[in-house]
Amino acid sequence: MIHYTTSMKVFVDARWTRTDYHDGVSRYGASLITELNKIQPITVLIHDKKQLKFLPKNIQFELINHPVSIRELGLPRKLNELGADIVFSPLQYMGIWGKKYKLVLTVHDLIYYRHPKPPSYLTWPVRLVWRLFHVAFWPQRLLLNRADAVITVSETSKKYIIQHNITKRPVSVVYNAPSQLHVRLQKPTKRLVYMGSFMPYKNVELLIAAMEYLPDYELCLLSRISPAREKELVTHAPKDAQISFYGGVTDKQYADALGQCHALVTASLEEGFGLPLIEAMQEGVPVICSDIDIFHEVAGDAGLYFDPNAPQDFAEKVHQLEKKKTRDNLVKLGKSQAQKFTWQKSAKVLVKTIKDIGR
């Protein structure tokens, strides 16, 4: 195990932690903080004390500005005054000019350069800046080259970062990892479960269109969705298709849905990682996913892959999984594959990165 002296002041930016429910970045940051705190004393940065409910009990914290506030420009001075030696952020968006400490930033993926539509929950000024930021690579390079090291969540993302020369700094892979969902497996039903956003690159339209070839199956779309986006997706639904929009579920409801489904499915055209795949596989639920590089990295031999532009190919894979031998084999492979991704392993890689730049 890697150890540090208590004199090293390590700060972690937890301001992207949600106060209601986790999204991808929120869960990634909070989970790493939990494991990192077991190895190295840290202080987290928050902007709302409600964020503490997702962080380790009694963790040291500093209450500062919201990350998209104009006060972010003064953050480096604040951290300098607090005596920070190392600062880690689970995103790349952070005030950095004038810093006297070593900085580690995270780039999850480069999806938004090809799909620049920002998340709908952001305010319109932030969405405008988001679009402008992703017009070219140079703003990203400017931020990352002011850091001392860069983290990403998969070898696939690292490959793209290097390919596009996004940074001159060393890039380490700190994998995403699943949380325990405590799924109670039951006899599989003819329900196909989707967990993820409804951004265009998620390609949910294909899953819906494919239901034309799966009249006996129900597609269960579990995630939160805006009324406008739901209305748009419904237009792609074949006549009499069984499609259910849940509008968001709790972890328990998610676990219950996985416990009785035929498979977890996703048709993404691009991803930075693919957390739902790992969550399903570790619980003994088979996955049917699009044939893209990142899913091969995450699911390995445990994935049942289909052409993300071919609804009939997806339907064929659903039917292949009806064979008990195929299902049992994928479940066994999935449980083994999922063990490669744990927050403990990821925290150790992060600690090594911190150690390397802290020398």
Whether residues 158 and 269 fall in one domain: no
Is residue 252 included in any domain, yes or no?
yes
Is residue 2 included in any domain, yes or no?
no
Whether residues 250 and 317 fall in one domain: yes
Whether residues 163 and 257 fall in one domain: no
Whether residues 88 and 154 fall in one domain: yes
User: What is the pLDDT of the chain when averaged over all its residues?
Assistant: 92
The whole-angstrom distance between residue 20's C-alpha and the CA centroid of its chain comes to: 17
Percent of the chain residues topping a pLDDT of 70: 95
| Tally of domains in the chain | 2
Whether residues 59 and 142 fall in one domain: yes
Is residue 168 included in any domain, yes or no?
yes
Is residue 353 included in any domain, yes or no?
yes
pLDDT digits (tens, 9 = 90+) for 270-284: 999 999 999 999 999
* pLDDT tier for residue 231 given thresholds of 50, 70 and 90: very high
How much is the average pLDDT of 146-164?
A: 94
Whether residues 257 and 110 fall in one domain: no
Is residue 183 included in any domain, yes or no?
no
pLDDT digits (tens, 9 = 90+) for 11-42: 999 999 999 888 888 999 999 999 999 998 99
Whether residues 40 and 121 fall in one domain: yes
How much is the average pLDDT of 332-346?
A: 96
Is residue 230 included in any domain, yes or no?
yes
How far, in Å, CA of 5 to CA of 50, rounded?
Answer: 30
Residue 5 has pLDDT above 50, yes or no: no
Is residue 184 included in any domain, yes or no?
no
The model's pTM is 0.87
Whether residues 157 and 208 fall in one domain: no
How much is the average pLDDT of 88-101?
A: 93
Range of the domain at 160: 10-177+342-358
pLDDT digits (tens, 9 = 90+) for 183-197: 999 999 999 999 999
Whether residues 267 and 159 fall in one domain: no
How much is the average pLDDT of 137-156?
A: 91
How much is the average pLDDT of 261-290?
A: 96
Whether residues 246 and 350 fall in one domain: no
Q: In this structure, what CATH number is given to the domain that contains residue 226?
A: 3.40.50.2000
Residue 40 phi, psi (nearest 5): -140, 130
Residue 82 has pLDDT above 90, yes or no: yes
Query: Given this model, what pLDDT does residue 130 score?
Result: 67
Query: Given this model, what pLDDT does residue 2 score?
Result: 42
Whether residues 217 and 354 fall in one domain: no
Residue 121 has pLDDT above 60, yes or no: no
Query: Given this model, what pLDDT does residue 122 score?
Result: 65
The answer to whether 98 touches 78, Cβ cutoff 8 Å, is no
Is residue 186 included in any domain, yes or no?
no
